[in-house]
C-alpha cells in the first residue's frame, strides 16, 4: 500500500516512540503525587511544556496539554466565548465554513444551545479568509474569531499574522486551528500574534490522542474539564505523561526538520499538481495554487463519485482521501468544497493527495501513471 494520506494522520516517528517508552512502565508515576516517582513524571510533563514553548516562542505556562486538536479547538471556542460574554456582554462569534468540524460544529453548538450569534466569514475562491472579510464582519459585539492557519481539505494557508492585527485593533480574540499547519509552517507566536492556537500530535509524526492549546497570558477561559487542578485548572485529569512527552518531541523534531521536510515534499507535490491538471480532462486544483501546504495536492474531477474513485485507488494500492465527509451511503459534497462555489457535479468528485517523510518519487510516478485511467473508469461507472 502506498500512503498518500498524511493529512489524515502520520506514523509515529521512531525517535518519538523512543522518547515515550520509559513513561509507560519505569517512570509511570502520577505527576500530581508528592513522592519521587510523581516528581519524575511531573518533571517530564514540565520539560515537555518547555519544549513546546520553545517552538512556539512563548512562555511554558501559556501551553495546556489536551487529548488532541479537537479538544483544543473545543476548549478555545467554548471556553473563551462563555467567559468573554460574562465579562463583556458581547455575543458574536466569527468563523468560516471551511473550518475543521472541531471548530465549525462547536461554533454551531454555541449558537444553538448557548445563545451566541454566529456569522460565517466570507471565503475567497481558494477557500481563504482575507483581512477584508474579517474587518468587514467585526462589530462592537464580536467576542471571538476563529480562522484556521492551513486547511486540511484544500491546503490553503490563511494570512494569520494579518488577521491577528485586525483582531487586535478591534479588541477581539483570535483563535487559530494550526493542527495541519504545524507540520510545515512556522508556528512561532511572535510572528503569528494570535491569542489561542490549537495543535494536534498525530499530524506531525506524534501519537494520536494528544494535543495542546496555546493560550496567550491573561486570556481567560472557562475550565473545560472540571476536577483535579491539572493544567492550571483548565483541563482536569491525570496527565497522559508518555503522550505528552511524545507530542513535545514530535513538535520539536517538526520545527528542527521543517526545511528539509518541505524541500522533500514540495517538488513532488508540484509534479502531481502539474501532471494531473495536464493529463486529466475536467480537473481543477482546489485551494490556493501557491499559498498552500507544501505536501498537499487537492482536486475536483467533474462527473466523478469521489468515494468510488477512492475505492478504485485503494484496490490499486493507493491510500488517498476525498473532501467528502460521508464514507458510505448517500454522498454529500463537503462543506469546504461547496464553500468554494463548485456545483454538485464537480464537488462530489474531490481527491486529496498528501505527502510525507517517507514518500518517494517512484511512488508518485506510479500514482500518476494509474490515476487517469481510474478517473475515466469512475466516470464511466457514474453514467
Ligand X SMILES: *Cc1c(COP(=O)(O)O)cnc(C)c1O
- By C-beta, is 73 or 249 nearer to ligand X? 73
- Residue 229, classed as helix, strand or coil, is coil
Kind and range of the H or E run holding 265: helix 258-279
Cα–Cα distance for residue pair 358/11, rounded to 1 Å = 10
Cα–Cα distance for residue pair 267/265, rounded to 1 Å = 6
The distance of closest approach from Cβ of residue 193 to ligand X in the complex, given in angstroms and rounded to an integer, is 20
- By C-beta, is 106 or 275 nearer to ligand X? 106
The distance of closest approach from Cβ of residue 271 to ligand X in the complex, given in angstroms and rounded to an integer, is 24
Is 139 labeled as catalytic in the residue annotation? no
Cα–Cα distance for residue pair 20/242, rounded to 1 Å = 5
Q: Which residues contact 253 (CB under 8 A, 6 or more apart)?
A: 13, 15, 16, 204, 205
- By C-beta, is 6 or 92 nearer to ligand X? 6
The distance of closest approach from Cβ of residue 152 to ligand X in the complex, given in angstroms and rounded to an integer, is 4
Q: Which of 58, 139, 320, 326 is catalytic?
A: 326
Cα–Cα distance for residue pair 281/287, rounded to 1 Å = 18
The distance of closest approach from Cβ of residue 363 to ligand X in the complex, given in angstroms and rounded to an integer, is 22
Q: Which residues contact 260 (CB under 8 A, 6 or more apart)?
A: none
The residue of the chain with the least Cβ separation from ligand X equals: 69
Cα–Cα distance for residue pair 337/65, rounded to 1 Å = 32
CA 372 vs CA 290, 297, 310, 366: distances in Å: 24, 16, 13, 11
The distance of closest approach from Cβ of residue 374 to ligand X in the complex, given in angstroms and rounded to an integer, is 26
The distance of closest approach from Cβ of residue 357 to ligand X in the complex, given in angstroms and rounded to an integer, is 17
User: How is residue 162 written as a grid cell?
Assistant: 494579518
- By C-beta, is 73 or 195 nearer to ligand X? 73
- By C-beta, is 248 or 371 nearer to ligand X? 248
Q: Do β-strands 142-146 and 63-66 pair in parallel, antiparallel, or remain unpaired?
A: unpaired
Name the residues that contact ligand X, by CB under 6 A.
Answer: 68-70, 73, 100, 102, 148, 152, 177, 179-180, 200, 202-203, 211
Q: Which residues contact 154 (CB under 8 A, 6 or more apart)?
A: 98, 126, 127, 286, 287, 288, 292, 296, 298, 323, 336, 337, 340, 352
What distance separates the 2 farthest-apart alpha carbons in the chain? 69
The distance of closest approach from Cβ of residue 324 to ligand X in the complex, given in angstroms and rounded to an integer, is 16
Cα–Cα distance for residue pair 383/4, rounded to 1 Å = 28
- Exposed, middle or buried: residue 189 (CB in 10 Å: 0-12, 13-18, 19+)? buried
Q: Pick from 31, 12, 10, 62: which is nearest to 228 by CA?
A: 31
Q: Which residues are catalytic?
A: 326
Amino acid at each position: 500500500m502506498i500512503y498518500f494520506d498524511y493529512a489524515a494522520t502520520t506514523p509515529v516517528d521512531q525517535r518519538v516512540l523512543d522518547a515515550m517508552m520509559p513513561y509507560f512502565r519505569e517512570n509511570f508515576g502520577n505527576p500530581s503525587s508528592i513522592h519521587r516517582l510523581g516528581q519524575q513524571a511531573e518533571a517530564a510533563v514540565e520539560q515537555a511544556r518547555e519544549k513546546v514553548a520553545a517552538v512556539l516562542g512563548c512562555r511554558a505556562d501559556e501551553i495546556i496539554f489536551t487529548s488532541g486538536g479537537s479538544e483544543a479547538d473545543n476548549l478555545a471556542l467554548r471556553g473563551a466565548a462563555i467567559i468573554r460574554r460574562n465579562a463583556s456582554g458581547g455575543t458574536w462569534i466569527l468563523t468560516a465554513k471551511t473550518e475543521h468540524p472541531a471548530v465549525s460544529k462547536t461554533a454551531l453548538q454555541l449558537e444553538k444551545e448557548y445563545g451566541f450569534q454566529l456569522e460565517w466569514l466570507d471565503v475567497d475562491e481558494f477557500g481563504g479568509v482575507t483581512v477584508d472579510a474579517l474587518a468587514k464582519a467585526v462589530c462592537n459585539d464580536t467576542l471571538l474569531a476563529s480562522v484556521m492557519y492551513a486547511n486540511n481539505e484544500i491546503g490553503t494557508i490563511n494570512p494569520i499574522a494579518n488577521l491577528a492585527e485586525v483582531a487586535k485593533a478591534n479588541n477581539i480574540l483570535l483563535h487559530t486551528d494550526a493542527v495541519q499547519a504545524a507540520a510545515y509552517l512556522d508556528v512561532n507566536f511572535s510572528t503569528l500574534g494570535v491569542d489561542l492556537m490549537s495543535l494536534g500530535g498525530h499530524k506531525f509524526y506524534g501519537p494520536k490522542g494528544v494535543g495542546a492549546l496555546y493560550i496567550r497570558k491573561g486570556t481567560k477561559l472557562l475550565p473545560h474539564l472540571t476536577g483535579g487542578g491539572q493544567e492550571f485548572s483548565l483541563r482536569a485529569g491525570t496527565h497522559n505523561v508518555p503522550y505528552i512527552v511524545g507530542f513535545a518531541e514530535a513538535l520539536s523534531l517538526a520545527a528542527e526538520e521543517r526545511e528539509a521536510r518541505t524541500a522533500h515534499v514540495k517538488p513532488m507535490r508540484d509534479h502531481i499538481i502539474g501532471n494531473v491538471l495536464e493529463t486529466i480532462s475536467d480537473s481543477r486544483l482546489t485551494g490556493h495554487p501557491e499559498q498552500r501546504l507544501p505536501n498537499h495536492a487537492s482536486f475536483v474531477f467533474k462527473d466523478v463519485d469521489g468515494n468510488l474513485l477512492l475505492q478504485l485507488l485503494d484496490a490499486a494500492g493507493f491510500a488517498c482521501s476525498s473532501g467528502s465527509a460521508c464514507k458510505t451511503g448517500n454522498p454529500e459534497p463537503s462543506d469546504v468544497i461547496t464553500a468554494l462555489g463548485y456545483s454538485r457535479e464537480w464537488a462530489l468528485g474531490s481527491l486529496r493527495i498528501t505527502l510525507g517523510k517517507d514518500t518517494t518519487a517512484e511512488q508518485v510516478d506510479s500514482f500518476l501513471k494509474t490515476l487517469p485511467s481510474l478517473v475515466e473508469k469512475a466516470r464511466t461507472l457514474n453514467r
